[in-house]
Amino acid sequence: MVGARLLRILSRLEAGGTRPGPARLCEVCAEVMVMTGAGIMLMSGDVARGSICSSNRVSALIEDLQYTLGEGPCVDAYQQDEPVCEPDLADPGEPRWVAFTPRAVEAGARAVFGFPLRVGAARIGALNLYRDRPGPLDDDQHADALVLAGVAARAVLGMQAEAAPGMLGAELEAGSDFRFVVHQASGMVSAQLEVSVGEALIRLRAYAFAHDRPLGAVAQDVVARRLRLSHDPAPGQEQ
């Protein structure tokens, strides 16, 4: 019964106050789902905007990979507007996410699940769930995840509700990682190479992928002026 599920989830959240912050939201998602980790990614216009919380290091990495590579369960769940389940990442039924999968497996994820965050007909992101051993979600867990995604979506909007015009809600700003350093680096690369910021971001992503490094770390190096990308899309030069 959906009501009983929702009540169970809301009462868990309530243990963190009537309006839980992002961190509590992720903890409850992981607990209720009996997952190794959980996280919440925000997206808009088919682009990942960043992560508002992740319950552990691997979960953060799974979100970072999807942000860097533009592929993975959350990206698909958001774009296709439906749950995306990969119960055995190391031995998938059909190969997908060529760049994401080997890195996620190496980090310790064996099953990954993405659920779109919906409010009415609109989507604002995706719930990221992973487990360190393979296996599908049972019907009960699947139903729980749908309810959790709805609660999380409304909670995120609730956090934005008190923000001043043009500003992010304080709780969102505080607990989240919107990868601002990546955008600073895009601006710098755009000036260095005389390209648009959009193209600069593509260059940064390509560099991160080619060197097998997180996009955030590459951006840090650019901003600290330790790294300058060259016009040749391939290598880039360490300073």
Partner 1 sequence: MPKEALLVRTLVELADSLVDDFDVVELLSLLADRCVEVLGVSAAGVMLAAPEGDLRVVASSSEAMRVVELFELQSDEGPCLDCYRGGEALLNEHLMAADGRWPRFAPVALDAGFRTVYALPMRLRGAVIGAINLFATGEDSLSAEDVMAGQALADVATIAILQQRVASESRVLIDQLNTALTSRVVIEQAKGVLAERAGLSMESAFEAMRHFARDRNLHLAYVARGVVDRTLAPGALSTPRPLRPS
Using CB under 8 A as the binding rule, whether residue 79 contacts partner 1 is answered as no
Measured from the CB atom, the residue of 36 and 186 that comes closer to partner 1 is 186
Measured from the CB atom, the residue of 96 and 154 that comes closer to partner 1 is 154
Residue at 234: amino acid letter: A
Using CB under 8 A as the binding rule, whether residue 202 contacts partner 1 is answered as no
Which residue from 16, 108, 175, 187 is in contact with partner 1, where contact means CB under 8 A? 187
Using CB under 8 A as the binding rule, whether residue 230 contacts partner 1 is answered as no
Least separation in angstroms between CB 20 and partner 1: 11
> Phi, psi at residue 148, to the nearest 5°?
-60, -40
Helix (H) or strand (E) holding 206: helix 197-210
Q: Looking at beta carbons, which pairs linking 80-85 to residues 24 or more positions away fall under 8 Å?
A: 81/116, 81/118, 81/123, 82/116, 83/113, 83/114, 83/115, 83/116, 83/142, 83/145, 83/146, 84/113, 84/114, 85/112, 85/113, 85/114, 85/136, 85/137
Which residue from 99, 105, 143, 157 is in contact with partner 1, where contact means CB under 8 A? 157
Measured from the CB atom, the residue of 89 and 155 that comes closer to partner 1 is 155
In the complex, the residues that contact partner 1 under the rule CB under 8 A are 1-4, 6-7, 10, 14, 17-19, 42, 44-45, 49, 119-120, 122, 124, 147, 150, 154, 156-158, 160-161, 163, 165-169, 172, 178, 180-181, 183-192, 197, 223
